[in-house]
Chains A and B, each alone.
Chain A
Amino acid sequence: MSAAWPWLAVAALGAYHGIDPSMGWLFAVALGLQERKRAKVIAALFPIAIGHLVSIATVVAAIAILQSSFPFAILRPAGAGTLIVFGLFRFLWPRAHPRWVAMRVNFGELTLWSFLMASAHGAGLMLFPILLGMNAPTAMPGMHHHGFAMASRGDPVLKAAAVVILHTGAMLAMMGAIAILVYEKLGLAILRSAWINLDTVWALALVAAGLLCLFI
């Protein structure tokens, strides 16, 4: 059971990113409404997912490179510090993201938009404690997280790819389900009541991820 939880966390974070309207489902719904075609909603989901995937993959790859170059004892506090600082930045300047004014977007532009939004929000960074845990030295004294020890077995490249795909798959599934539900059934009036300030939640999640690093 314990071996499964890093993977569950990867999927859960994907689902969480899928819920956030500013990560893409709302754009997909808007593009569908603009032409009153459900097919447009669905077609928009894939470039958005690809952009998200590229953003996550970049961060995962960067972390993997750092992990191969620096010892765990340095990476852990450095990563924790980065996450906490970035989380505080997101909390204080929640709307510091790329300026984008364009409703008419092609596949490539929508992919780029999604990449920029995910990157600016630090979507990939949020995975840091999980990646850190997965690759934590198995024989570290005082460590009791056998799940990580088990998870850390196997080809690191394959594992990194699995993290990226699982995360994005969960994000796509959640984003797609919400987009279709809102387009077909709920309508956009739901935004007025249900759109809680995810910027704040997101900032707190980054800080929490930073703190989590210190306990892995």
Chain B
Amino acid sequence: MALWKPDQTFYPSARMAMSAQREKLGYVASFNPAPENGGHDALCVLDLDPESKTYAQVVGRTEVPGVGDELHHFGWNACSAALCPYAPHPHIERRYLLVPGLRSSRIYIFDTKPNPRKPKIVKVIEPEEIAERTGYSRPHTIHCGPDAIYVSALGAPNGEGPGGIFLLDHESFEVLGRWEVDRGPQYLAYDFWWHLGYDVAVTSEWGTPKMVEGGVVPDLLLGGKYGHVLHLWDLRKRRHLRTLDLGAENQMALELRPSHDPTKTFGFVGVVISTKDLSASVWRWDRSGGDWSVKKVIEIPAEPADPSVLPPALKPFKAVPPLVTDINLSLDDRFLYVACFGTGDLKQYDVSDPAIARLTGSVRLGGITSHAAHPKGGTLNGGAQMIEVSRDGRRIYVSNSLYNAWDAQFYPEGIRGWVAKLDANPNGGLALDREFFTGFDGDRPHQIRLEGGDSSSDSFCYP
């Protein structure tokens, strides 16, 4: 049912969204790491209200009926993009969470309204429907767009490529079809987002399902076969515009964080690993003088380590690669957060001048060799991985699992799931909240979404 006034979680600009009230709940997609035993994945609800007696605890947990879905990323049915001027529909509610199973290709739609602490599955989109209508499989990123819900997919149902983007109707959640009209040379897919003020979409590359589902394949990695290219698209004509190649040694260009300000044209992408020296990096793309370019702005070196404490896959290299697997940009486009799944570092950079990233804070949680402890959680494994930044930019939530098959390669002892919180100083600086620690016994937490929106959930059409 349509609202009489716009959904109050929608903001015309990212700047205005920073004044939103503090989130009281968080949603965490978590998967069961041993589906062979019949366990189910779940959407968990975290109490984030410091006034509450159950603060920092899992207060709701809705299991999905499937087995082995591998819940991963997810997103809202509607967000601030509903205010975009050319197709406004602001009286729709931010209410449903669309949660794909990255392995099963099933999409679960949860209704958070009747009871936000007890999300209820109201619809399931089966993999066959997605395959039939789009030719795609392994849905990943969800973004609520101005005219529809956009979903990226890693590849085709047979496990090969190409991956791409498909659309869902933003009211009925019907699968509308494949998005691309002309994909040009694009074959690999992973994340996507856009510069709405310029009608430009950006997509990144990981690997086809066959390249990732059994774990990292060393030959493919050393051969530079994983993704290392950004693709720019005409969002309106759905045509490939051009590629920005980071170089084949920069393997796996994953999370894309374009400026939230639609009048700007810069954005950041994280690279997991360099085959040259195992370092990780963050690159900034920008358009100046009408031409797009990309440049490395952050390089994080690998840390030498005794092979005896390294997992088999890393022993020959005698080092811990930082493995930048997620990045996140605050709504004022000022602070970039970078998670290093290998070392366990969560780093904060001031990118007020997006050409120069200045390190302003770093906290270590877990890590392949450091197992950096939390005062409330003890020694940790897994490493700082999925990051979510609150709308006001003050609170950073982080979880520690990457992807089941890859978790096993870097943390063969098994990962004990957790979510931690850090406090960000508005002028720069990052401190661990020593009181906040949530253990996920048996579940592996991945992406976190905050009630009402967060720093990676909404797109804005106004500066």
Contact = CB atoms under 8 A, between A and B. Distances in A.
Contact of B461 (A22, A103, A104, A113): A103
B199 A103 contact: yes
Contact of A103 (B16, B89, B147, B198): B198
Interface string A10-53: 00000000000110001101100111100000000000000000
A195 B462 contact: no
B6 A191 contact: yes
Interface in B1-18: 2-6, 8, 10-13, 16
Interface in A53-78: none
Contacts of B263: 33-36
A201 to B, nearest CB: 10
**Size class of A's contact patch?**
20 to 34
A100 B88 contact: no
Given A195-B6, A197-B2, A199-B2, A27 B12 contact: no
B35 interface: no
Interface string A69-102: 0000000000000000000000000110111111
B83 A191 contact: yes
Instruction: Tell me which of A26, A100, A101 has the highest count of chain B C-beta atoms within 10 A of its own C-beta.
Output: A101
B85 interface: yes
A192 B8 contact: yes
**Size class of B's contact patch?**
35 or more
B135 interface: no
B2 A103 contact: no
B3 A197 contact: yes
A188 interface: yes
A99 B11 contact: no
B233 to A, nearest CB: 12
Contacts of B89: 94-95
Contact of B5 (A22, A34, A36, A197): A197
Given A103-B262, A196-B4, A197-B5, A26 B85 contact: yes
Nearest to A95: B89
Contacts, number: 93
Nearest to A91: B2
A106 interface: no
Given A34-B463, A103-B197, A197-B2, A97 B87 contact: yes
B171 interface: yes
Interface in A96-144: 97-104, 113
Nearest to A190: B12
B91 A199 contact: yes
Contact of A100 (B3, B87, B171, B463): B87
B197 A34 contact: yes
A189 interface: yes
Interface of A: 21-22, 26-27, 29-30, 33-36, 94-95, 97-104, 113, 188-189, 191-193, 195-197, 199-200
Q: Sorted from nearest, which 7 A-B pairs have the closest CB atoms? A: A188-B12, A27-B85, A30-B85, A26-B85, A102-B236, A197-B91, A99-B147
Given A102-B235, A197-B2, 15 more contacts: A21-B85, A30-B84, A33-B263, A34-B262, A34-B263, A94-B91, A101-B146, A102-B199, A102-B236, A103-B85, A188-B12, A188-B13, A188-B462, A189-B16, A191-B12
6 contacts: A36-B263, A195-B5, A195-B6, A195-B90, A197-B2, A200-B2
